[in-house]
Structure 1
Amino acid sequence: MSPIPSPSIIVFDVNETLLDIETLTPLFTRLFDDDNMLREWFAQLVLYSQTMTLSRLYAPFGELGVGALQMTADIHKVSLTDDDIDELKQRMSEMPAHADAVPALTKLCDAGFRLVTLTNSASSASPTPLEKAGLSTFFERSFSVESIEKFKPAPETYQMVASELSVEMSELCLVACHLWDTIGAQAAGGHGAFLTRPYNAVLPAASVPTPHFMASDLVTLSDQIIDYQQ
């Protein structure tokens, strides 16, 4: 890996990176009798959010999440009720923090990094999902793509953060457990820190940017970022 300047601001993805989406599994198991259906729904949600941006269209991420649930149910010939949709919304608003989140964020703060979040999800009234998960105090700002109506990994999403913080893209490091997210950040001129949580892996193909940092847990990933700074 060629030398890169050390980032000063760490930008965290939220869903699955910091907050545990596996707590949605009971809903999908009940509806589809299959623990793996959560992943099918989530893949559809990501696919169609990116499709909307590529098509120069926009709908809030939560609305697309409900739509993706209905689409998945239609595909598998499952009937949904209003209560099912309400349960999805409730569970999405109350996802707990991963066990490695607080230790990793504490390390980065103690090392002097500025921390912010960038999420595809729309902003919400207090208490926010990050507040409910006990993570909000670590971050100086929380950004949502709703302000520019483009979903990650559109370059404008990462550039918005740099512009709002009055820094160059090279000062940002995007931490995410989705490779498509780190690819987007690196293509926009930032650093990429890839968290290989379950169901996420590198894409070994030509021209796919290699993450600058990579680990299977947030604490180790944070240590790599801190050590690079020294």
Structure 2
Amino acid sequence: MLIANGKPVLVFDVNETLLDIDALMPLFEGIFGRGNAMREWFAQLVLYSQALSLAGRYAPFNVLGGAVLRMVGATHDLTISDDDVFALGAGIAALPLHTDVANALARLQDANFRLFTLTNSPADHQADPLRRAGVAGLFERRFTVDAVRRFKPAHETYAMVARELDLPAASMCMIAAHVWDTIGAQSAGCMAALVTRPGNAALPLTGLAQPDFVGPDLPSIAEQLLERWD
């Protein structure tokens, strides 16, 4: 089932899908002596966000991010200072858009797709990378999992968006750079598009629904959506 104009509602993940988290690498280079420690931290952050949801516990994503930074530091015999944690929060608040994002979003909006976001990160109107980048106004609403205190890919997160928009999940298409996000969205009844940014790929598991759309960047996903519905 689709909305009245025959097009699905597009719901975008934010971190890594829209925002370039590689901008954090210099911070991790300074702390760990290697920038790619950022990927270790981010993978652990995702892992423990999902572990908290499975265990029925919750902490805001930014608070968890600082705790995971201290944990990863401990595994490398490094003491993470309060200044390091503060610098991480400031770096996340200042993340830039991927260079392919703004034009692709504008093109989809011009084609009368309705655009929303759904992120694990809590709302912070004072530190808002999408507003700083000038694209916040392209989205009708921006949802955070804080409302249900469960992290993606928990079903409750996608159901919350469908409920708030008074739409069936089948009318939503989740667009994300993480296959765990597309798995969660599809399991909740949504369509899904996977942006295979470097380090991300589909999971070729027998019996697992594959994303409806797959492309290396946001313009390629936009092109597929336009070909199907414009």
- Distance across 2 between alignment mates of 1:21 and 1:142: 19
What aligned pairs does 1:178-193 form with structure 2 within 5 A after superposition? 178-193=178-193
What do the CA deviations read for 1:31-70 (whole angstroms, capped 9, x no partner)? 1111210100000000000000001111110111001100
Structure 1 residue 125 displacement after superposition: 2.3
- Distance across 1 between alignment mates of 2:133 and 2:37: 24
- One-letter amino acid of the structure 2 residue matched with residue 50 of structure 1: Q
Structure 1 residue 130 displacement after superposition: 1.3
Identical pairs, percent: 46
- Distance across 1 between alignment mates of 2:42 and 2:16: 10
- Distance across 1 between alignment mates of 2:118 and 2:42: 18
- Distance across 2 between alignment mates of 1:156 and 1:85: 29
What aligned pairs does 1:162-177 form with structure 2 within 5 A after superposition? 162-177=162-177
Alignment length (residue pairs) = 227
SS of residue in 1 equivalent to 2:50 = helix
What do the CA deviations read for 1:134-156 (whole angstroms, capped 9, x no partner)? 21011010000001000000011
- Distance across 1 between alignment mates of 2:133 and 2:106: 15
Structure 1 residue 8 displacement after superposition: 2.1
TM-score by length of 1: 0.96
- Distance across 1 between alignment mates of 2:143 and 2:130: 12
Q: Structure 1: state its 5+ residue gaps.
A: none
> CA RMSD of the aligned region, Å?
1.2
CA gap 1:110/1:164 in 2 versus in 1, 3 angstroms = same
Structure 1 residue 198 displacement after superposition: 0.6
Structure 1 residue 172 displacement after superposition: 0.4
TM-score by length of 2: 0.96
- Distance across 2 between alignment mates of 1:17 and 1:78: 30
What do the CA deviations read for 1:181-212 (whole angstroms, capped 9, x no partner)? 01110110000100000111111112222000
Kept in 2: contact 1:215–1:221 (CA 8 A): yes
Structure 1 residue 169 displacement after superposition: 0.6
What aligned pairs does 1:28-39 form with structure 2 within 5 A after superposition? 28-39=28-39
Kept in 2: contact 1:151–1:157 (CA 8 A): yes
- Distance across 2 between alignment mates of 1:83 and 1:53: 28
Pairing 1:119–2:123 present = no
Question: 1:43 maps to which residue?
Answer: 43
Kept in 2: contact 1:118–1:143 (CA 8 A): yes
SS of residue in 2 equivalent to 1:45 = helix
What aligned pairs does 1:21-100 form with structure 2 within 5 A after superposition? 21-100=21-100
SS of residue in 1 equivalent to 2:125 = coil
Question: 1:101 maps to which residue?
Answer: 101
Kept in 1: contact 2:93–2:127 (CA 8 A): no
SS of residue in 1 equivalent to 2:142 = strand
SS of residue in 2 equivalent to 1:175 = strand
Q: Structure 2: state its 5+ residue gaps.
A: none
- Distance across 2 between alignment mates of 1:190 and 1:88: 33
- Structure 1 residues 62-71 or 125-134, which shifts more? 125-134
What do the CA deviations read for 1:138-181 (whole angstroms, capped 9, x no partner)? 10100000010000000110011011011111110000000000
Structure 1 residue 127 displacement after superposition: 4.9
- Distance across 2 between alignment mates of 1:91 and 1:127: 10
SS of residue in 2 equivalent to 1:201 = coil
Pairing 1:218–2:218 present = yes
Question: 1:158 maps to which residue?
Answer: 158
- Distance across 1 between alignment mates of 2:220 and 2:204: 22
